[in-house]
Amino acid sequence: MAKVKLVAAGDVLLHSRVYDKCETIDGGYDFSPQMEHAKTLLEEGDLTIVNLESIVAGKEFGLSSYPKFNNPIEVAKTLKDYGTDIVSIANNHAYDHGEEGLIKSIENLRSINLPYVGAHLSEEDRDTYRIIEKNGLRVGFLSFTRKFRAFRKMDKDKSYLINIFEEENAIPVRQKIQKLADSGEVDIVVVALHFGKNIPLSNFCTKGDCS
């Protein structure tokens, strides 16, 4: 029987007191010494997903710390170099710098070829399944975040920007999970959920199966 070992980690979100100490002479950032201890964990599995909680719009966009974060792109580069296969970017900080910051962050992730899930540049991007084949198994990834107050400023016509779920109604999320599971394109579905209080797992189970 084919098997795949999944490693899930997070939340990766750096305050200025951390990234300031990692600035290099040439104005870049080197996080490898600080993240060295995480390397073994990230490389331990066959597939690794990390919740990248800060956008990585980078220094040119304007780095920022609490309460609205923007981290250097080098954070994401280090995650990739240390074995991360895909990052989940649907979380309460995804819209800290609005649409412009989110789009720049996604463009930066694309520039370093680090797959992402949960927030998107377009409807087409949202509707493109994130599937990674490993050990003969096709693993599909989905990511959702609970609706937070910061999202109220989002353009209603651009709901594709972030995968958001309402705690009172998990049916749309269940349907999306089921659609991917029934697509014939995957053998396993991995779902990353970001929320601030306990929500019964049974709300998201499909066909009564929570295994």
Residue 210 maps to a domain = no
Which residues are bridge partners to 166 per DSSP?
A: 169
Residue 82 maps to a domain = yes
- 86 has pLDDT over 90: yes
- 101 has pLDDT over 60: yes
Structurally, how many domains does the chain consist of?
1
Higher pLDDT: 127 or 211? It is: 127
Residue 33 maps to a domain = yes
- Please tell me the distance from the alpha carbon of residue 88 to that of residue 46, in angstroms, as a whole number: 17
- Please tell me the distance from the alpha carbon of residue 78 to that of residue 74, in angstroms, as a whole number: 6
| Owning domain of residue 126 | 6-203
Residue 151 maps to a domain = yes
Amino acid code (one letter) for 147: K
- 59 has pLDDT over 60: yes
pTM exceeds 0.75 for this model:
yes
Residue 208 maps to a domain = no
Whether 196 and 146 have beta carbons less than 8 Å apart is answered as yes
- Please tell me the distance from the alpha carbon of residue 154 to that of residue 103, in angstroms, as a whole number: 13
Residue 55 maps to a domain = yes
What integer pLDDT is reported at residue 29 of this predicted model?
98
91 Cβ contact partners less than 8 Å away, ≥ 6 residues apart: 11, 51, 53, 118, 145, 194
**Residue pointed to by tokens 């649907």:** 90
Residue 1 maps to a domain = no
- 4 has pLDDT over 70: yes
Residue 209 maps to a domain = no
Higher pLDDT: 11 or 203? It is: 11
Dig out the tokens for 197 from the structure.
């209080």
pLDDT bracket for residue 210 (50, 70, 90): very low
